[in-house]
């Protein structure tokens, strides 16, 4: 503790479990957006990950409220928000928003897999065949007309899911932004910042999952698909970073009475997690994603840089959630002191939090075994590589790499200079 704080501010009430909740819901929203880019906006290069995105979203969505309800001590109390809701409370809408979005994801997955479920129910033997038969829900018509209807329903659900995904995570930022007594939280930009960082983290997660699953299956990564995710991740990263920085710049420019407390927070209390992990890794990932799209970069290197950027962004967004949730509680209501966050090990500490972070991948493994996301997808044939892993392309520029980076930035980072076919 430093400076003057009130006695009731010594203990940090919202710890790592509350940090994890907005982080996981953000991953859900981002992964769903990638799937919708294919189903709604016709980005065909994302076809190899369209099903994987939905399965990943479902796995994370099922775990997201666990950390939140575990924080209550008595998880069943969470249902009080739904049985006796307060229409004036933003938190009262969580149960309804979450349930509505879960239904959309489940329905979209079911209609997308319905043809496969019918075929598996007819071909698989034993208990697995019975499970698939139950999952068909008795709808075994796989005529061309029925499948066409399924496709229309999937498209409609994807369209409906986009604002639902945005609302699911935007409302989390709204809860923090609406707390006027906290200078680190109270800003109308908070819902937008949370939403953009959610999309960024979801796309980054999908990049990593796609690369890992390809490695496990012994399949070659679809380079066009990976570079398309690279492009969208890069674009969303720009907006996420700019808004996060503008929020602090705006506070500094206004220089109201709470600014010295906020300045002290980011410069003396959480400087490493804020400047190095949150902002620093975002900036580095921004340039790595950009460099990965240069024609002079070997494909193997471009893939590595893209995957590495995805990992860095996942860590950066997690740090952002920590800095917002925990950092906001470190500032005293007197604006003249700071609390100290003690990292617990067991009770809402590092070990159970790590368990909640691993659990979505355990569920994802089960879901992938039950509903393989690559079955039924006509994987596009990869173009034969015209060059080796470290062989330059015929049209490679002789200019130094830093000079190429500067020229791209100077010319407005137009897409004309990126890899052909992106």
* Tens-place pLDDT, residues 258-271: 899 899 999 999 99
CB atoms near residue 248 (< 10 Å): 17
Q: Of 272, 276, 249, 280, whose CA–CA distance to 262 is shortest?
A: 249
Q: Of 317, 321, 360, 370, whose CA–CA distance to 63 is shortest?
A: 360
126: left (phi over 0), alpha (psi -120 to 50) or beta: left
Q: What is the pLDDT of residue 112?
A: 92
pLDDT exceeds cutoff 80 at 143: yes
Q: What is the pLDDT of residue 407?
A: 57
Residue 347's φ and ψ, nearest 5 degrees, are -70, 105
CATH code given to domain 9-378: 1.20.1630.10
pLDDT exceeds cutoff 90 at 323: yes
Share of the chain above pLDDT 90, in %: 50
* Tens-place pLDDT, residues 29-73: 888 888 888 988 888 899 999 999 999 999 999 998 888 888 887
Q: What is the pLDDT of residue 422?
A: 47
Torsion sign over Cα 198, 242, 336, 180: negative
Q: Which helix (H) or strand (E) holds 256?
A: none
Q: What is the pLDDT of residue 384?
A: 38
In this predicted structure, which of 199-203, 219-223, 310-314, 390-394 has the lowest mean pLDDT?
390-394
Mean pLDDT of 342-364: 92
Q: What is the pLDDT of residue 82?
A: 78
pLDDT exceeds cutoff 60 at 395: no
pLDDT exceeds cutoff 80 at 385: no
Largest CA distance in the chain: 72
pLDDT exceeds cutoff 70 at 106: yes
Whole-model pTM: value is 0.85
Q: What is the pLDDT of residue 29?
A: 85
Six token digits for residue 274: 């804020």
Share of the chain above pLDDT 70, in %: 89
Residue 414: pLDDT band by 50, 70, 90 thresholds? very low
Alpha carbons 67 and 349: distance in angstroms, whole number: 11
Mean pLDDT, all residues of the chain? 85
Mean pLDDT of 348-353: 91
CB atoms near residue 233 (< 10 Å): 26
Torsion sign over Cα 392, 398, 400, 404: negative
Q: Which helix (H) or strand (E) holds 338?
A: strand 336-338
* Tens-place pLDDT, residues 280-313: 999 999 999 999 999 888 999 999 999 999 999 9
The more confident residue out of 177 and 407 is 177
| Residues with Cβ within 8 Å of residue 374, at least 6 apart in sequence | 48, 51, 52, 217
Six token digits for residue 384: 């034969």
Mean pLDDT of 343-350: 88
pLDDT exceeds cutoff 80 at 93: no
Written as one string, the DSSP assignment of 291-331 is HHT-TTS-HHHHHHHHHHHHHHHHHHHHHHHHHHHHHHHHB
The more confident residue out of 1 and 126 is 126
Q: Contact, 238 vs 181, CB < 8 A?
A: no
Q: What is the pLDDT of residue 70?
A: 87
Q: What is the pLDDT of residue 92?
A: 77
* Tens-place pLDDT, residues 174-189: 888 888 888 898 888 8
Q: What is the pLDDT of residue 380?
A: 43
| Residues with Cβ within 8 Å of residue 319, at least 6 apart in sequence | 273, 274, 277, 278, 281
Six token digits for residue 208: 């990593």
Residue 79: pLDDT band by 50, 70, 90 thresholds? confident
316 class by beta-carbon count within 10 Å (0-12 exposed, 13-18 middle, 19+ buried): buried
pLDDT exceeds cutoff 70 at 403: no
Alpha carbons 284 and 297: distance in angstroms, whole number: 17
């Amino acid at each position: 503790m430093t400076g003057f704080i009130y006695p009731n501010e010594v203990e940090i009430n919202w710890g790592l479990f509350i940090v994890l909740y907005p982080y996981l819901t953000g991953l859900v929203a981002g992964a769903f957006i990638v799937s919708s880019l294919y189903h709604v906006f016709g980005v065909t290069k994302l076809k190899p990950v369209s099903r994987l995105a939905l399965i990943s979203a479902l796995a994370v969505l099922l775990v997201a409220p666990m950390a939140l309800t575990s924080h209550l001590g008595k998880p069943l109390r969470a249902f009080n928000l739904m049985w006796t809701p307060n229409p004036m409370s933003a938190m009262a809408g969580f149960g309804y928003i979450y349930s509505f979005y879960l239904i959309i994801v489940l329905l979209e997955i079911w209609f997308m897999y319905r043809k496969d479920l019918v075929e598996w129910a007819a071909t698989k033997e034993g208990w697995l065949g019975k499970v698939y038969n139950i999952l068909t829900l008795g709808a075994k018509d796989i005529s061309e007309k029925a499948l066409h209807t399924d496709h229309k329903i999937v498209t409609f659900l994807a369209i409906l899911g986009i604002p639902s995904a945005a609302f699911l995570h935007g409302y989390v930022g709204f809860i923090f932004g609406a707390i006027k007594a906290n200078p680190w939280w109270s800003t109308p930009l908070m819902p937008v910042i949370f939403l953009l960082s959610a999309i960024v983290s979801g796309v980054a997660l999908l990049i990593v999952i796609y690369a890992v699953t390809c490695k496990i299956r012994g399949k070659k990564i679809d380079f066009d698909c990976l570079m398309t995710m690279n492009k969208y991740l890069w674009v969303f990263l720009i907006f996420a970073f700019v808004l996060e920085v503008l929020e602090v710049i705006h506070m500094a420019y206004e220089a109201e009475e709470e600014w010295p407390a906020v300045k002290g927070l980011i410069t003396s209390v959480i400087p490493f997690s804020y400047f190095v992990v949150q902002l620093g890794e975002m900036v580095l990932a921004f340039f790595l994603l950009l460099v990965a799209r240069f024609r002079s970069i070997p494909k193997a290197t471009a893939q590595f840089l893209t995957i590495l950027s995805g990992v860095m962004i996942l860590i950066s967004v997690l740090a952002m959630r920590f800095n917002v949730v925990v950092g906001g509680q470190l500032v005293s209501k007197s604006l003249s002191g700071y609390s100290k966050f003690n990292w617990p090990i067991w009770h809402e500490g590092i070990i159970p939090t790590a368990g909640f972070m691993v659990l979505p991948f355990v569920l994802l493994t089960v879901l992938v075994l039950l509903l393989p996301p690559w079955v039924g997808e006509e994987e596009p044939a990869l173009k034969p590589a015209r060059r080796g892993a470290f062989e330059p392309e015929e049209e490679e520029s002789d200019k130094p790499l830093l000079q190429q980076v500067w020229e791209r930035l100077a010319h407005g980072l137009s897409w004309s200079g990126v890899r052909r076919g992106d």
